[in-house]
Structure formats: structure tokens, C-alpha cells
């Protein structure tokens, strides 16, 4: 079976189209600090607007625990969406109540409304099938069809993602279609050499993706906080660096599997070690096998890959035809520990092939470090969803759209 796409819905002129977006953007004092996920929805929304559909956009934001919470309101998103579309966007003050019903009923062809945060209703994330279904049926009364375009939530069996797609005629929007196409290329016959770069804080977050991709890749590069568990598995003393002792045997297994399969496992040869977790902390470059041989001794902690490692990682990436990167190389939010992540991002922009930034913190990092989105082959909007797809897991929000 293949994914049902927008074309399968026929003409949508005059129809009320619910679009399940992923507007889960970071906010600070009510201001959006990264609008990447809002912009990612524009191709689908503009297509519907141009067709003359009456668009009802919906999303979650944060974890408001099933009750209204002003700090998680989608009002700033509606305002930003209006600016990006260059037209008014109505905003409903509830999810399925009077305000949402009035906003949906008032729409004319080509107009857009955003309803309030879906997670203000406990039915959206309910574990109980009947409660979830009841909320989905209330949502369904707002529209005629569903376009599912929130890739960041397709791994969740939630009312607006799964149940609503069963109730209404449904199809994937352009964003989900693109995400599935790109991620499928990473698992089925990727162009070689194929390198996967993994970072972020914990090995335990990446167990499934390492397991699933090890047989498929040529090179696996490991940085970020998770590198210290790999280094410790090889006998290094890592001071106070992030270490998952309960994963050491698992990591040793990955090291052995990589060797058996002829996969080149590229681990850091140096790291930036700091006296404390602070942007102004004293820090030095240390050899990866001697991280405690610094002025800080066993109390030092590694916060980034070192310059030699950054150069080596960059060379491997540039020589590859397919690259998937998930997880920063260090604490990129602090300038002294951002250079490893910057080097990896820069190398990805030079790849003559498919370069994919795997959502989450990696996507935030490339934007924060000043890279343009079109410098990369693809920036995924779904960190957890991307990883679960690459782990080979079944994703409910895709299965309900015909993907298998």
C-alpha cells in the first residue's frame, strides 16, 4: 500500500478542510523563537487556499495536560501564520466548542482559521480508545475532509492524528509526503557511501535507530553527550561527562557488530572539556583517551567534540553521497561549545547527494547557528517520528493514511 496524498481527495473547492499541522514551536514570553514548523506547513496550506478550500488548521503545542493553559495558546502561531500567508487568519478560542464551531462556519472559500491547542482537551491524548474517539468525532463536525500534515506526531496514536483520519476522508499533506519520501530513501537503497551522524545527550534515545541502521550504513559517526558512553566502553575515563553506565554492554555490542559488518565506527579523538556546565567556564581541548588528564582532573566534563574530531567528521561527511544527522555534537546553545555542531552542519551543506538533518535539536541548531534551510537536502520536522521511522517501527499516523 502507498500513502494517500492530496490528489486522492479530488477538488476541495468550497470544502471545509481540517489540516492537522505540527505547530509545536518554541515560545519565550509568548513570542515564537523558531517558526520553522509554521513555515513547513505553508506549501500544503497555500495549495488548499489556492484551490478555494476553507481551511481549519489545528495542532498541539507543548504538554498542557488536557486543560487550557495560556502559556501554551496557539494565538501567537495564528498571528505568525497570518504574516506568512499574507492574509487574515481567524483564531478560535477553543478546540471544538462554540468559538471553533463559529470560526469554521464563518469561513469563506480560500480563508483560514486556527483552532486552539488540541491538547487543551484531554481526549486528544487519551489512552482510552472511546474517549479519544469521542473527541475525534467532535473535531470531525468542523470539517468535511482531513489533510494530515503534522509529521512530528505521526508516531502517536492521538485523536487528531489517528482517529480523525478514520472518521473523515483523509490524505497526507505535502510535508508528510516529503518526509516519508526522504526517510524511505535513507532505509531503502541509499546512494553510497552512506554516513549516519548521531549526537545528542543519550545513547538510550538512539538504541533503536543504531540497531536498525547499522546493517545499512557504511560509516557511523558518534558525537554529543552519547560519545562518552562509547568512549567509556572502550576503556576511557570520562570524568563527570554524561555517561550511561547501564548502556556500556549494549554499546560494546554495537562496536562488535560494526566491526563484524565492516561498518566504520568513527568515534571522537578529542573533546572540549570544561570545569563546569557554564558558557564562561574554563575549558581545554583533551585527547579522547585521556579526558581526565586536564587541569580539572576527574571533575571535568566534556561539552563538545574537539577540533581534530570536527575536521575528521567533516571530511567523512563531505566524502559521502547520503548523510543522515540527528543530534548536536555538543552544547551548541553555549558559544564555546558550538563549534563541533557548526562543523558538522557546514559539512552537510557541502554534500553532493542527499543530506538530511533529523529534526529536533539538530534542526534548531542549524537555524540558531545561522544556516539557511535550503543549504540542506532536507530538514525533518519530526525528531522522534524520524527516529522511529528509521527504526522500522509502525507509525499509527502513517498507517491510517495507507502507508505500510
Could you tell me which residues are annotated as the binding site for (2R)-3-phosphoglycerate? 37, 119, 156
392 catalytic, yes or no? no
202 catalytic, yes or no? yes
Residue indicated by cell numbers 553521497: 321
- Distance, in Å, from the CA atom of 189 to the CA atom of 161, rounded to the nearest integer, reads 29
Which residue positions form the known binding site? Answer: 22-24, 37, 60-63, 119, 156, 206, 302, 333, 359-362
Residue indicated by cell numbers 568512549: 231
CA within 13 Å, CB half, 116? 22
| Cell reading at 136 | 475525534
CA angle 36, 316, 324 (to 5 degrees): 35
Which residue positions form the known binding site for substrate? Answer: 22-24, 37, 60-63, 119, 156
346 catalytic, yes or no? no
Strand 264-266 and strand 219-222: the pairing is parallel
- Distance, in Å, from the CA atom of 293 to the CA atom of 286, rounded to the nearest integer, reads 7
Closest to 160 (Cα-Cα) out of 123, 114, 112: 123
| Cell reading at 401 | 493514511
36 catalytic, yes or no? no
Q: Which of 39, 178, 185, 202 is catalytic?
A: 202
Q: Which of 52, 110, 384, 402 is catalytic?
A: 384
Q: Which of 173, 300, 330, 360 is catalytic?
A: 360
| Residue 337 preceded by cis peptide, ω within 30 | no
Q: Which of 15, 16, 20, 37 is catalytic?
A: 37
Dihedral sign, CA of 31, 33, 34, 37? Answer: negative
Strand 145-148 and strand 283-287: the pairing is unpaired
* Contacts with 404 (C-beta within 8 Å, 6 or more apart), sequence order: 1
Q: Where are the beta strands (DSSP E) in 37-172?
A: 54-58, 89-91, 112-114, 145-148, 170-172
- Distance, in Å, from the CA atom of 274 to the CA atom of 279, rounded to the nearest integer, reads 9
Which residue positions form the known binding site for ATP? Answer: 206, 302, 333, 359-362
Q: Which active-site residues does the annotation give?
A: 37, 202, 360, 384
Amino acid at each position: 500500500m502507498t500513502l494517500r496524498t492530496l490528489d486522492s481527495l479530488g477538488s476541495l473547492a468550497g470544502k471545509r478542510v481540517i489540516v492537522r499541522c505540527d505547530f509545536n514551536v518554541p515560545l519565550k514570553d509568548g513570542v515564537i523563537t523558531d517558526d520553522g514548523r509554521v513555515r513547513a506547513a505553508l506549501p500544503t496550506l497555500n495549495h488548499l487556499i489556492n484551490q478555494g478550500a476553507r481551511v481549519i488548521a489545528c495542532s498541539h503545542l507543548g504538554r498542557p495536560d488536557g486543560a487550557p493553559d495560556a502559556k501554551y495558546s496557539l494565538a501567537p502561531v495564528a498571528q505568525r501564520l497570518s504574516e506568512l500567508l499574507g492574509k487574515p487568519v481567524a483564531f478560535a478560542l477553543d478546540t471544538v466548542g462554540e468559538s471553533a464551531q463559529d470560526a469554521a462556519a464563518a469561513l469563506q472559500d480560500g480563508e483560514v482559521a486556527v483552532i486552539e491547542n488540541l491538547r487543551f482537551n484531554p481526549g486528544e491524548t487519551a489512552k482510552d480508545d472511546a474517549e479519544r474517539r469521542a473527541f475525534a468525532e467532535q473535531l470531525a463536525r468542523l470539517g468535511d475532509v482531513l489533510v494530515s500534515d503534522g509529521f512530528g506526531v505521526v508516531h502517536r496514536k492521538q485523536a487528531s492524528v489517528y482517529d480523525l483520519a478514520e472518521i473523515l476522508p483523509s490524505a497526507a499533506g505535502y510535508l508528510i509526503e516529503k518526509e516519508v519520501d526522504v526517510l524511505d530513501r535513507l532505509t531503502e537503497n541509499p546512494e553510497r557511501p552512506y554516513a549516519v551522524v548521531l549526537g545528542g545527550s543519550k545513547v538510550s534515545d538512539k538504541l533503536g535507530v543504531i540497531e536498525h541502521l547499522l546493517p545499512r550504513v557504511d560509516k557511523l559517526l558518534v558525537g554529543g553527550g552519547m560519545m562518552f558512553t562509547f568512549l567509556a566502553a572502550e576503556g576511557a575515563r570520562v570524568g563527570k561527562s554524561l555517561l550511561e553506565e547501564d548502556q556500556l554492554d549494549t554499546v560494546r555490542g554495537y562496536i562488535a557488530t560494526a566491526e563484524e559488518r565492516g561498518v566504520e565506527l568513527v568515534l571522537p579523538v578529542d573533546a572540549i572539556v570544561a570545569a563546569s556546565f557554564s558558557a564562561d567556564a574554563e575549558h581545554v581541548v583533551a585527547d579522547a583517551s585521556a579526558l581526565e588528564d586536564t587541569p580539572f582532573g576527574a571533575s571535568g566534563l566534556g561539552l563538545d567534540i574537539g577540533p581534530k574530531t570536527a575536521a575528521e567528521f567533516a571530511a567523512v561527511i563531505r566524502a559521502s553521497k547520503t548523510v543522515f544527522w540527528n543530534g548536536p555534537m555538543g552544547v551548541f546553545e553555549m558559544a564555546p561549545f558550538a563549534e563541533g555542531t557548526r562543523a558538522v552542519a557546514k559539512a552537510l551543506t557541502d554534500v553532493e547527494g542527499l543530506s538530511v538533518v533529523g529534526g529536533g535539536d539538530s534542526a534548531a541548531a542549524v537555524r540558531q547557528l545561522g544556516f539557511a534551510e535550503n543549504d540542506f537536502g532536507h530538514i525533518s520536522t519530526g525528531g522522534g517520528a524520524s527516529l522511529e521511522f528509521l527504526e522500522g517501527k509502525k507509525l499509527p499516523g502513517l498507517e491510517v493514511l495507507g502507508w505500510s
